[in-house]
Structure 1
Amino acid sequence: MLEHQIKNIELSLFANGTERKGEEEAWKVQPSDSAKNCRNFIREIVDNLDLEPNPEKPVIALSIGDPTVYGNLPQADETIKAVVKILEEGSCNGYAPSVGYEDSRRAVAEYLSHDGVEVDKKDVVLCSGCSSSLELCITALACANKKQNILIPRPGFPIYRTLAESIGVAVKYYNLLPEKDWEVDLYHLESQIDQYTAAIVLNNPSNPCGSVFSRKHLSDILELAYRRRIPVIADEIYEQLVFPGKKFASTASLHSQVPILICGGLAKRFLVPGWRLGWIVVHDEINAFQNIRKALVSLSQRTIGSNTLIQGALPAILRNTPQSFHDDLINTLRKHAEIAFEGLKQAKGMSPYMPEGTMYMVVEVQMNRFPKFTNGLDFVQKLMEEESVFLLPGDCFQIPGFMRIVLTVPENLLKEACSRICEFCNRNYV
């Protein structure tokens, strides 16, 4: 009994710090290398901006690639009903196989089987959004211990760099050519390949450029990848989201003999980014990905699969959403692109690039004609201060001197934003 009381006193003294050894040394737990290497490059840039809007003008944000923000682009009724039905049934509240329900994977395979492509459910892995799909693909193909790198587009979305560098994999950039509708500079791409290159990341249709590659250009890229024996990660989250006069071609439809991991999901085309339902399709005509298939299954087991509620609704969403819904969305985005293109052409020192699809437009700024601003970040900050309009600077996408605007805002706000941008440019242009 006495021994027990003494022990309690010792524990109490230690808890109060009176008998703690080395008390002068603070206890600091260090984060892992993966945590320290994980950086959100858009946030790093934006958070360093002193964004104070003009109090006399309501803020119009043309910066966030979330089509649901303003509520002007509703989901299809069929999409909502599919989720409600599964929720009421209560049939998808437990764990699913880590790669996804079989019926859901079959539905994705059917959805993506067109233009001469036949996808099998065994080729599909469901993930927690397209970002998760990309993470699994990069992790499966590239290894820090081997000093490997992946090639990513410039301009391009910074998530590729975030995902790679967080696991110690280096990134190298290949250029897109604005004078050729943002096609890949094939000579530069090949020059970036070295003995440590594990994959080429290909984003088509493109964020931020809004470009859509032709079958010929895709074929040229894949021919290079085949010749150099480099697998491809194809980010096709904007598949089919192309304007009239252009046609989307999946990398799988080229039958290039290149092993490809295709990433996609519901987020953009079905207007539900927060539902976090993405997929990977293993396209492998030469049976080069046997071990990669196993690796993807193993990696998917880390989170025990994606959202089962949305998985359960997935077959109905993909099969029942009418084409008219997709057509209406494309027509709206095309109209908004035309409004922004014509509106911003009136701004001195600005050159908009008409997109061919997606939800974005890239605008070049002649910074030498705006000597009051030291760089694009300063330009964006002053635009917010004077006109309460926020654009993402091209620095976020590795292209200083450009801006990206989002086309999903309501038409009246888009017109107002373009008018304010024009006033700002014409006022400050020298």
Structure 2
Amino acid sequence: MSSFRERWNVCASNIARRTHNPIRSIVENIVVEPNPNKPMIALSIGDPTTFGNLKPPKEVIEAVQESVASQLYNGYAPSTGYQRAREAVAEYSSNEFVKVDPKDVILCSGCSCALDLCITALAREGQNILIPRPGFSIYRTLAEGLGITVKSYDLRPELGWEIDLDDLEAQIDESTAAIVINNPSNPCGSVFSRDHILDILDIAARYYVPIIADEIYEHMVFPGRTFHSLASLSTEVPILSCSGLTKRFLVPGWRMGWIIIHDRQNVLEIEIRKGLHCLSQRIIGSNTIIQGALPAILGQTPQNFFDDVIHTLHSHSKLAYSCIVKIPGLKPIMPDGAMYMMVYIDLPCFPEFNSDLEFVQRLLMEESVFCLPGQTGNHGTVQHARGSLSKDSRILRETSL
């Protein structure tokens, strides 16, 4: 019996070949070795647990322990999540401006999974989505793997990293399927004003483009600034809001995120809502143990825990700024939230370097300090570096000095 194949020829799929995460590639594959005489200080990945100084509260740990001990959450849940868990997210996400119905909540395996489902549901191969520059590289990774074109709109550092509205509008065309808005911002730490969000919504409404709102840092806002969710100000534009436990509760490895469908005009009612439900069946639901703990996690974590985390991150940002601003050629931009700081690198002050990547590599090689270069992925705005503010103050002081 003859074979229609004469040799092994196993090729990767188009999605696999097109998928690339530049941050992970740099972090995991960088060839430069740190200084063996200095301890490694990793400020590259946005993991607040890395150095052990930021930990979830006992109420959160106890909620998971009780979920495990109950033996009620060892099986499969509905693909969009247990009703009780979705009710907890709906209550947690509701306020005087927005009332969330549990039917509008889809639980996911982390916020990145929520973003993946939203991009996949809204955009088809050959269409495009708009993403911020500088911005979180996962948007590009997810879209390009699916054959979706990515177009970037600029953020303006001189205006606290607000969106360049003219540039945003200029990027929209007949193939634009969605706009990704990240507020508060990774990597910039910006928090948009109410008026700025209204301007963004006005553009989206005029061109009939839905918004994917990456709001994972929604509660991580420093004193003096106020977070306004896109859904709280939108009367016309449909919003798919993505968030989760990862950052605020200091548990990125627990992989619990969610999508909230905000659709006051029922624009997404049939195809997109059904599409999101179908896509959730591909992941067969999110972590059931954490789902079982969600009502207690979201309802019983004391406010003073959140206040302490914000105080810590704000103090770290002020410390890092006060140290770095004294260094000739480096210009830190004070964040208003999240857990990062962008630092402008005035390359003429460092003639031995041709790019921010070379600067970051030398910093790792000589000082064992690892930051992300601004050109990584869709950080885009070259001559910047991003550092995480989650490390303890002693380490940040050593890094800056």
**TM-score of the aligned structures, taking structure 1 as reference length:** 0.90
Higher mean displacement: 48-57 or 255-264: 48-57
Aligned match of 1:425: none
Aligned match of 2:364: 384
Aligned match of 2:315: 335
Aligned match of 1:194: 173
Higher mean displacement: 48-57 or 347-356: 48-57
Shift of 1:206: 0.1
> How far apart in 2 are the matches of 1:116 and 1:96?
31
Shift of 1:49: 3.8
CA contact (8 A) 2:178 2:212 kept: yes
Q: Residue 352 of structure 1 aligns to a residue in which SS? A: strand
1:236 equivalent to 2:215? Answer yes
CA contact (8 A) 1:49 1:377 kept: no
Choose between structure 1 and 2 for higher RCO, CA contacts under 8 A separated by at least 6 residues: 2
Higher mean displacement: 60-69 or 279-288: 60-69
**Which residue, 199, 204, 228 being the options, matches 1:249?**
228
Shift of 1:21: 7.6
Aligned match of 1:306: 286
1:87 equivalent to 2:68? Answer yes
**Which residue, 48, 57, 82 being the options, matches 1:76?**
57
User: Structure 1's 55 and 186: CA in aligned 2 closer, same or farther, altered over 3 A?
Assistant: same
User: Structure 1's 112 and 21: CA in aligned 2 closer, same or farther, altered over 3 A?
Assistant: closer
Shift of 1:177: 0.4
Aligned match of 2:274: 294
Shift of 1:48: 6.0
Q: For 1:202-243, what per-residue CA distance to the aligned partner results, in whole angstroms no more than 9, with x for missing partners?
A: 000000000000111001000110011000000000011000
1:317 equivalent to 2:297? Answer yes
Aligned match of 2:89: 108
Over aligned residue pairs, what C-alpha RMSD do you find? 1.4
Runs (5+) with no aligned partner, structure 1: 1-9, 11-19, 420-430
1:414 equivalent to 2:378? Answer no
1:67 equivalent to 2:48? Answer yes
Aligned match of 2:147: 168
> How far apart in 2 are the matches of 1:360 and 1:99?
31
Higher mean displacement: 41-50 or 236-245: 41-50
CA contact (8 A) 1:345 1:352 kept: yes
Aligned match of 1:16: none
Q: Residue 240 of structure 1 aligns to a residue in which SS? A: coil
Shift of 1:256: 2.9
Q: Residue 156 of structure 1 aligns to a residue in which SS? A: coil
User: Structure 1's 340 and 209: CA in aligned 2 closer, same or farther, altered over 3 A?
Assistant: same
**Which residue, 394, 400, 405 being the options, matches 2:382?**
400
- Which AA in structure 1 matches 2:163? V
Q: Residue 248 of structure 1 aligns to a residue in which SS? A: coil
**Which residue, 342, 350, 359 being the options, matches 2:330?**
350
CA contact (8 A) 1:241 1:330 kept: yes
Percent identity over the alignment is: 57
> How far apart in 1 are the matches of 2:78 and 2:364?
47
Runs (5+) with no aligned partner, structure 2: none
**Which residue, 130, 133, 141 being the options, matches 2:111?**
130
CA contact (8 A) 2:201 2:234 kept: no
> How far apart in 1 are the matches of 2:357 and 2:37?
22
Q: Residue 375 of structure 2 aligns to a residue in which SS? A: helix
Shift of 1:22: 10
> How far apart in 2 are the matches of 1:256 and 1:364?
37
**Which residue, 203, 206, 209 being the options, matches 1:224?**
203
Shift of 1:255: 3.0
**Larger C-alpha radius of gyration, 1 or 2?**
1
**Which residue, 4, 9, 20 being the options, matches 1:28?**
9
CA contact (8 A) 1:376 1:394 kept: yes
Aligned residues: 398
- Which AA in structure 2 matches 1:223? D
1:41 equivalent to 2:18? Answer no
> How far apart in 2 are the matches of 1:287 and 1:21?
54
Shift of 1:43: 3.2
Aligned match of 2:238: 259
Q: Residue 29 of structure 1 aligns to a residue in which SS? A: coil
CA contact (8 A) 1:223 1:256 kept: no
Higher mean displacement: 394-403 or 184-193: 394-403
Aligned match of 2:184: 205
> How far apart in 2 are the matches of 1:312 and 1:74?
20
CA contact (8 A) 1:219 1:256 kept: no
Q: Residue 306 of structure 2 aligns to a residue in which SS? A: helix
- Which AA in structure 2 matches 1:274? G
Aligned match of 1:4: none
- Which AA in structure 2 matches 1:243? F
Shift of 1:46: 4.5
